Amino acid sequence: MSTVRSRPVIGAGVNRVDGPRKVTGAAPYPMDFHVPGQAYAALVQSTIAAGRVIRVDTAAAEASPGVVTVLTHANAPRLERAPVNRLGASPPPPLQDDRILHHGQHIAVVVAETPEQATAAARLVSAEYERTEPLLDLMDPRAPQVDDPWGMDHSRGDAVAALTTAEVTVEETYTTADNTNNPLGPFATLASWDGDHLTVHDTTQWPFVVRSTLATVFGVPESSVRVLAPYVGGGFGAGLRVWPHVILTVAAARVLRRPVKLVLTRPQMFTSVGHRPKSVQRIAVGATRAGDLVGIDHRSISPVAMEDEDYEPIASGTAFAYHCENVLTQDRQAHLNIPNPTSMRAPAEAQGNFALESALDELSYKLGMDPLELRLRNYAEEHPVHSLPWSSKALRECYEVGAERFGWSARTPAPRSMRDGHWLIGLGMAGVSYPWYAADCQAEATVHRDGSALVRSAAADIGTGTYTVMTQLSAECLGLPLERVRFDLGDSDMPAAPQAGGSGLTAALGNAVFDACGRLVKRFAALAARDSESPLYGVAPESVEVTRGRIHPIGQPDRGETYADILGRHDLMELTANGYSKPRSQDELGMALSGAFGAKFVEVRVDADLGLIRVARVLSVIDGGRILNVKTARSQIVGGTVGGIGMALFEDTVTDAPSGRIANGTFGDYLIPVHADVPDLEVVFVGDPDRGSPIGTKGVGEIGLVGVAAAVANAVHHATGKRIRSLPLTLDALL
Ligand code: MOS
Query: How many C-beta atoms lie closer than 10 Å to residue 346's C-beta?
Result: 30
- 203, 206, 236, 703: residue to mutate for ligand 1 pocket, most atoms within 8 A of CB: 236
Cβ of 438 closer than 6 Å to ligand 1, yes or no, is no
Mutation choice for ligand 1 from 206, 240, 276, 703, CB with most ligand atoms inside 8 A = 240
Instruction: Give percent of the chain above pLDDT 70.
Output: 99
Please check whether residue 438 is in contact with residue 507, taking contact to mean a CB–CB distance below 8 angstroms.
Answer: yes
**Cα-to-centroid distance, 344 and ligand 1 (Å):** 6
Query: Out of 73-87, 249-263, 700-714, which region has the weakest mean confidence (pLDDT)?
Result: 73-87
pLDDT 10s digits, 413-426: 999 999 999 999 99
- Cβ–ligand 1 distance for 636 under 6 Å, the answer no
- The active-site residue out of 309, 476, 651, 702 is 702
d(CA 337, CA 341): 11
CB of 205 shorter than 6 A to ligand 1:
yes
Distance 504 CA to ligand 1 centre (A): 9
CA of 345 to the centre of ligand 1 (A): 5
473: enclosing H helix or E strand = helix 466-478
Amino acid 437: pLDDT? 87
| 80 carries an active-site annotation | no
User: Model confidence over 635-665: pLDDT tens digits?
Assistant: 999 999 999 999 999 999 999 999 999 999 9
Looking at the CA of residue 237, tell me the nearest atom of ligand 1: 4
Ligand 1: atom nearest CA of 235 is 4
**Single-letter amino acid code for the residue at 364:** S
Instruction: Give per-residue pLDDT as tens, 585-605.
Output: 999 999 999 999 999 999 999
Q: Is the CB of 236 under 6 A from ligand 1?
A: yes
What is the pLDDT at residue 735? Answer: 85
Give the ligand 1 atom nearest the CA of 504.
3
Give the other-Cβ count within 10 Å of 465's Cβ.
25
Q: Which of 196-200, 263-267, 435-439, 453-457 has the lowest mean pLDDT?
A: 435-439
Q: Ligand 1 in contact with 643 (CB < 6 A)?
A: no
Full set of structural domains in the chain with CATH: 19-26+439-582 (3.30.365.10), 33-133+181-272 (3.30.365.10), 279-437+589-734 (3.30.365.10)
**Which of 179, 314, 345 most suits a substitution to test ligand 1, by most atoms within 8 Å of the C-beta?**
345
Nearest ligand 1 atom, CA 342: 2
Residue 319 pLDDT: 98
pLDDT in tens, 603-612: 999 999 999 9
Average pLDDT over residues 302-323: 96
Instruction: Measure the CA–CA gap between 212 and 243, rounded to whole angstroms.
Output: 13
Measured in whole angstroms, how far is the alpha carbon of residue 455 from the centre of its chain?
A: 24
H or E element, residue 322:
none
How far, in Å, is the centroid of ligand 1 from the Cα of 306? 22
Any atom of ligand 1 within 6 Å of the Cβ of 235:
yes
What CA dihedral angle connects 476, 480, 485 and 488, to 10 degrees? -30
Helix, strand, coil percentages, rounded to 5, for the chain:
30, 25, 45
CA pseudo-torsion sign 134, 137, 142, 145: positive
How far apart CA 100 and CA 103 sit, in angstroms, is: 8
User: CA-to-CA distance for 95 and 662, rounded, in angstroms?
Assistant: 21
- Which residue has the least CA distance to atom 4 on ligand 1? 237
Length of the chain: 735
The number of the ligand 1 atom at minimal distance from the alpha carbon of 502 is 3
Q: Which atom of ligand 1 is nearest to the CA of 346?
A: 2
Q: Are 710 and 430 in contact, with CB atoms under 8 Å apart?
A: yes
Cα–Cα distance for residue pair 250/82, rounded to 1 Å = 14
Distance 248 CA to ligand 1 centre (A): 24
660 CA to centre of ligand 1 in angstroms: 26
Rounded Cα–Cα distance for residues 309 and 303 (Å) = 10
Q: Which of 343, 461, 636, 700 for mutating ligand 1's site (highest number of atoms within 8 Å of CB)?
A: 343
- Measure the CA–CA gap between 419 and 426, rounded to whole angstroms: 8
In degrees, to the nearest 5, what angle opens at C-alpha 8 toward C-alphas 595 and 617? 60
Q: Taking the CA atoms of the chain, what radius of gyration do you get in angstroms?
A: 27
Residue 8 has pLDDT above 70, yes or no: no
pLDDT of residue 83: 83
Phi, psi of 670 (to 5 degrees): -90, 115
Distance CA 218, CA 250 (A): 9
Amino acid at 165: T
Atom from ligand 1 closest to the CA of residue 343: 2
> CA torsion sign, 121 to 126 to 132 to 134?
positive
Which pLDDT score is estimated for 2?
40
The pLDDT, as a whole number, for residue 703 is: 98
**Model confidence at 362, in pLDDT bands (50, 70, 90)?**
very high
Query: Looking at this protein, which amino acid is placed at residue 447?
Result: V
Which is the closest atom of ligand 1 to the Cα of 239?
Answer: 4
Indicate if ligand 1 lies below 6 Å from the C-beta of 501: yes
Give CA–CA dist 370/291, Å, rounded.
10
Classify 677 as helix, strand or coil: helix
| Helix or strand (DSSP H, E) at 504 | none
**504: Cβ below 6 Å to ligand 1?**
no
Q: Is 692 in the pocket of ligand 1 (CB under 6 A)?
A: no
CB 241 within 8 A of CB 233: no
Closest by alpha carbon to 599, among 317, 406, 425? 406
Ligand 1 center to 89 CA (angstroms): 15
> Is ligand 1 within 6 A of the CB of residue 463?
no
235 alpha carbon – ligand 1 mean position (Å): 8
Centre of ligand 1 to C-alpha 436, Å, is 10
pLDDT at residue 29 is higher than 90:
yes
Give tens-digit pLDDT for 119-161. Answer: 999 999 999 999 999 999 999 999 999 999 999 999 999 999 9
Judged against a pLDDT cut of 80, whether residue 632 lies above it is answered with yes
Q: What is the mean pLDDT of residues 295-308?
A: 97
347 lines ligand 1 (CB under 6 A): yes
- Å from CA of 245 to ligand 1 middle: 20
Bond preceding residue 728 cis, omega within 30 of 0:
yes
CA dihedral for 492, 493, 497, 500, sign (positive or negative)? negative
pTM above 0.80, yes or no: yes
Q: Please work out whether the CB of residue 303 comes within 6 Å of at least one atom of ligand 1.
A: no
Q: Establish whether residue 305 lines the binding site of ligand 1, counting it when its CB lies within 6 angstroms of any ligand atom.
A: no
Name the residue type at position 649: L
Distance 205 CA to ligand 1 centre (A): 9
CA triplet 176, 180, 185: central angle to 5 degrees? 155
Q: For residue 549, report the distance from its CA to the centre of ligand 1, in Å.
A: 37
Does any ligand 1 atom lie closer than 6 A to the CB of residue 343? yes
Any atom of ligand 1 within 6 Å of the Cβ of 345: yes
Q: Report the pLDDT value the prediction gives residue 10, as an integer from 0 to 100.
A: 67
Q: Does ligand 1 have an atom closer than 6 angstroms to the CB of 341?
A: no
56 CA to middle of ligand 1, Å? 36
Atom number, ligand 1, closest to the C-alpha of residue 345: 2
pLDDT at 7 over 50: no
User: At residue 496, does pLDDT exceed 50?
Assistant: yes
pLDDT at 6 > cutoff 50: no
Residue 344 CA: which ligand 1 atom is closest? Answer: 2
Q: Are 700 and 641 in contact (CB under 8 A)?
A: no
What band does 9 get if pLDDT is binned at 50, 70 and 90? low
Distance CA 717, CA 733 (A): 12
**Predicted pLDDT of residue 86:** 79
| Of 655, 667, 651, nearest in space to 712 by CA | 651
Predicted pLDDT at 87: 81
Distance CA 49, CA 274 (A): 16
Spatial distance between the Cα atoms of 585 and 692, rounded to a whole number of angstroms: 9
- Ligand 1 proximity of 375 Cβ (cutoff 6 Å): no
Pocket test for ligand 1, best of 437, 506, 702, 705 (most atoms within 8 A of CB): 702
- Tell me the pLDDT of the chain averaged across its residues: 96
